[in-house]
Amino acid sequence: MTDHLHQKIAANAVNIDQEGCFPEQEFKWMAAEGLLSITNPDALLDFNKSKTATLLQLLKKTGSANLSVGRIYEGHINALLLIALYGNPIQKKTWFKEAEKEQKLFGVWNTQAENGVRIHDLGDGYYRLEGSKTFCSGSGWINRPLVTGELVSPDKRGWQMCIIPTEKVKPILTDSSFWQPLGMRASASFKMDFTGIEIQEKDLLGEPDSYYREPFFSGGSVRFAAVQLGGATAIFAEAQRFLRMMNRLDDPFQRARMAEMAYLIESGNLWLNEAGKKADQWISENTSPEKIIAHAGLLRTFTEEICTRVMHLAGQCVGARGLMRTDAFERIYRDLTLYLKQPGPDATLTQIGGYVLNQEKTDDLWN
């Protein structure tokens, strides 16, 4: 369905691999294909239609074309899912329509360092933000950033989500000097300072602490794993292209590495499809959040291993000559190295281990 689009995105990746760049054209192309609203009610991948496996494959293909585009697109989908889960009917109508008709781009900015965000209740339905977020993918190009922060109010406390209507508030201060990364340059993941931004009650999404509600928070790791697997798929393709170009087709070591990468990538694919199906089934059956999170943790952890191993094998295949900046391989390798760094890998393993140890037996853990 989207092969031609992903080819175009892949072809342009070299031109936007710079700090300060953002895939503007790419998101226009994606909007034209309806991909910004593909999860809206009644659309192809409507969250209520239990199409998670197909959504994961779409994220994988996007990441394979350009990991930065995949990262930003994943944030957009995450924001729409949070709206579907926690928005009131008016909010859902407004924001889904904005994604579809106005091609507004959404993102989720939760990560922060010192000086994190606080949302002060001013009374009469008005709120003022204070503090900053780091790693804000898409930065000023995001029209509807979903920002989290500590709610400071006489009535309510907790970690509150809000969606900022950027054109209706004063400009959000952007610190692009924060963003000097190894890879993922085009994701424009700057530091943003929200101090003084004023919003209204209608901009608050969900109750305090909804953001961390399980299994949706940790279970969401399957989406970034899908994008990561896309990166490994692209590295595999580049290594195969390189060996064919060099006519190094008969060497047994190269063949063995190709074989290992082929089964690793295919295992990742099978995992995506199975995890997508299971997640949909388990959510509909109200399965325990611990089980859903542990299974998502398996996918996420194994995907990281697949990607790391594929990077190692593909690097051995192409050698130094294949790691020149003139080749896509070098960029994808850098991008994936950085994008593999996601929150809480150790905590994920301990959660899985704890879940397994708490079961009576291990022979039927995931059915």
Ligand X SMILES: Cc1cc2nc3c(=O)[nH]c(=O)nc-3n(C[C@H](O)[C@H](O)[C@H](O)COP(=O)(O)OP(=O)(O)OC[C@H]3O[C@@H](n4cnc5c(N)ncnc54)[C@H](O)[C@@H]3O)c2cc1C
Among 136, 197, 299, 336, binds ligand X (CB under 6 A): 136
The site map against ligand X for 334-363 (x = CB under 6 A) is ----xx-xxxxxx-----------------
- Choice between 58 and 147, CB closer to ligand X: 147
Number of residues that bind ligand X (CB under 6 A): 21
Closest by CA to 160, choosing from 151, 169, 152, 172, is 151
What is the smallest separation between the CB atom of 349 and ligand X, expressed in angstroms? 9
Distance CA 189, CA 56 (A): 22
Site for ligand X in 150-209 (CB under 6 A): 184, 187, 189
Site for ligand X in 96-135 (CB under 6 A): 107-111, 135
- Choice between 30 and 317, CB closer to ligand X: 30
- Choice between 267 and 351, CB closer to ligand X: 351
- Choice between 344 and 354, CB closer to ligand X: 344
- Choice between 139 and 254, CB closer to ligand X: 139
The site map against ligand X for 57-76 (x = CB under 6 A) is --------------x---x-
- Choice between 116 and 267, CB closer to ligand X: 116
What is the smallest separation between the CB atom of 68 and ligand X, expressed in angstroms? 7
Does position 275 interact with ligand X (CB under 6 A)? The reply is no
The site map against ligand X for 250-269 (x = CB under 6 A) is --------------------
Site residues, ligand X (CB under 6 A): 71, 75, 107-111, 135-137, 184, 187, 189, 338-339, 341-346
